[in-house]
Every structure is written in structure tokens, then in C-alpha cells.
Amino acid sequence: MTITVKGKKKNRINVIGRIGEEEPIIALAGHVDVVPGGSGWKKTQPFKPRIIGTKVYGRGTEDNKGGFVAVWAGIKLFLSRCLRFDGTIDLIAVADEEVGNTYGMEYLLKNGYRADYALVPDGGSMDELVIGEKGILWLRITSFGKQAHASTPHKGVNAIDNLNEFLFELKKIDWGKSTSEEFKPTTYNLGVIKGGNAPNIVPGEAMAEVDFRRPIGVSKEQIMAKVEKAVVKVQKKYKQARFSFETFEDTNPHLVSRENIVVKAFLSAAKDLKMWVGTKTMGGNTLGKLFNEAGISAVVHYPGTTETAHMTDEHVDVNELYQGVLLYSAFLEKLLIK
């Protein structure tokens, strides 16, 4: 067994535990960072774990420490039952999934990490295996006006007013039905809006950030074409309206075939254990997206539910984790025992 520590930043290290020297290589990867604790906790304080019955409460218990513990224990169970196997197992703890992966899985993949298959215990649920994820497009829209005194607004151009008009047109867009039977339709969300300095100043600049989630069959260019039509409508009504657009997140949708060996092995393992597991796609992006973009077939599963992730009183049920341990061990047997 070898342990490798890699990091682009001293306090953002990634740890890879490897056992085996043959192919195929199967990566089981989770993240060790968590979101801020937040307020309003009732069962415990966010960073003081507490066990109540079969549940463990605390920030990160579900996202992603519970899933990571389950794959770790699943590997341990597999190794206790299968002293010899054909392949290599990598257990990977990455640094910064919650804030963009710059120092985590993305860094590892850009610096030579490779595997044949991957399992990410960070999405879906006990009875759902995620085989596809939508693409994400984050767009920053800046509206430019002309600053003036509020007592003479006619001397200025109100950037907020123009931005509001644009966002109104954007909200009216029909994104259509899904272009893929596997995915739900394109979605749009206005997440950030900023502008102005004081009520007695006509604002010269305003900004909004929006989130698009697109299925297979819908391109970034198609989304931007509809965005540009909204701009044209605004500028026909308000000749002085000016906008700029900046993309600051852009991922492609992906889908792993049900005939892929990693999907078939997982579903077969569940069937042997008399667990019903179906396949699904989702709008969120996980480490699975990075693996698939690097040509590594990856599926996503969670041993329980992710209903309390990022919420107050986040918790995980130990009994559900135990079921996940059995499932992940059986999954490794399907892939690595010939």
C-alpha cells in the first residue's frame, strides 16, 4: 500500500491511498472540505459532532464525511474478504470540492492522475445511481449607464433600470422541453444582483449573475443566442442600454452508458444484495463530472439521502452507511474479481 500527498497549496492537500499494482484502476473519491457551519443549529453546534440514536449530527457528516467513511469501510471489507484481486484501488480525499476544485480533483487530473473507473459517494441516494449530470453555465451580466444626480435623472442613464428590463426579458424566455430523455429541461436562476452607491445617485453600473443548467443537446451557444435576443428587445426600447457578458463557470453535460462496465457492476452488486437501485441524471455537478471530462467513466451514489447537506442539523444515519459499506464492497468484487 502507498500513500501519496499532493497539493498545489500547503493547506489544500489531497491524499491518495493506493493498494494494488495492476489494471484496472478504480478510484473512490470524496472531499474533506465542508461549507461554513451557519446558524440555527438545535441538535448540536456545527463543529461538535453528536450522536443521537443512530444518527450523527454535525457539519459535513452528510456532505461528504459520511459517504467517504462508507467507501473507506467498503474497501476494508472487500480486502478482508478478497486477499487477491486483479486491479488497483485508489481511495482519494480531495481538498476543495465545495469551492471549485481548483486545488482538489481538478488539480490532480491536470497533473497526471489517471484511473479507469471512479465511484463518487456524493450524490443521488441509496436507491439511485447517478450516471449523468447537466452542464453548468454561470453568466455575469454588467449593465452600463451614466451616473448623475438623482434630482436630475434625465441627465443620466440608470444602469439598474436597464438591467431590470433585461432580467425581465430573460425570465420570459421559454427554454423548451428537454432535448434528451435522460435529462430534465434547461433551467435558469437569478442568483446575484448588485448595483448603485446611494439613493441620490443615478447608478452608472449594475451587475447580475445567473445560473443555467443545460442537458445533453443544448449548447452554450444556443443559450447565449436567446440571451442576445433579450438584449436586442431591451435596446429597441432603451437606446442607451449597454451590457457586457462574462462566463465564469462552464461545464458540459455528460452521460455514462448503462452498458458501461462500471454501471453494470454497480447494479449487479445491488441486485445480489437484494437492493433496488435505479439510474438517474441530475442538475448538480460533482467530482464525477471532472472524472468523466478526463475520460474516466464515473458514477455517483450516496449511501442514504443528501436531504440535510448544507443545512442546519446536518446528519447521517449510521445504519444507512452500513448498507453502503456492503454495497461498495460487492461493487469492488464485481469489478476486480475474475
Structural domains of the chain ordered from first start: 2-133+254-336 (3.40.630.10), 137-250 (3.30.70.360)
The span from the CA of 82 to the CA of 91, in Å, is 17
Torsion angle of alpha carbons 6, 292, 209, 183, nearest 10°? -150
pLDDT tens for each residue of 156-188: 999 999 999 999 999 999 998 888 899 999 999
Report the pLDDT averaged over residues 245-265. 96
37 pLDDT above the threshold of 90: yes
The per-residue pLDDT for 331 is 98
Helices (H), the chain: 67-81, 105-110, 159-171, 220-237, 261-272, 287-293, 318-336
What percentage of the chain carries pLDDT values higher than 90? 91
The span from the CA of 243 to the CA of 230, in Å, is 11
Record the pTM. 0.91
The per-residue pLDDT for 315 is 96
CB 4 within 8 A of CB 16: yes
The per-residue pLDDT for 329 is 98
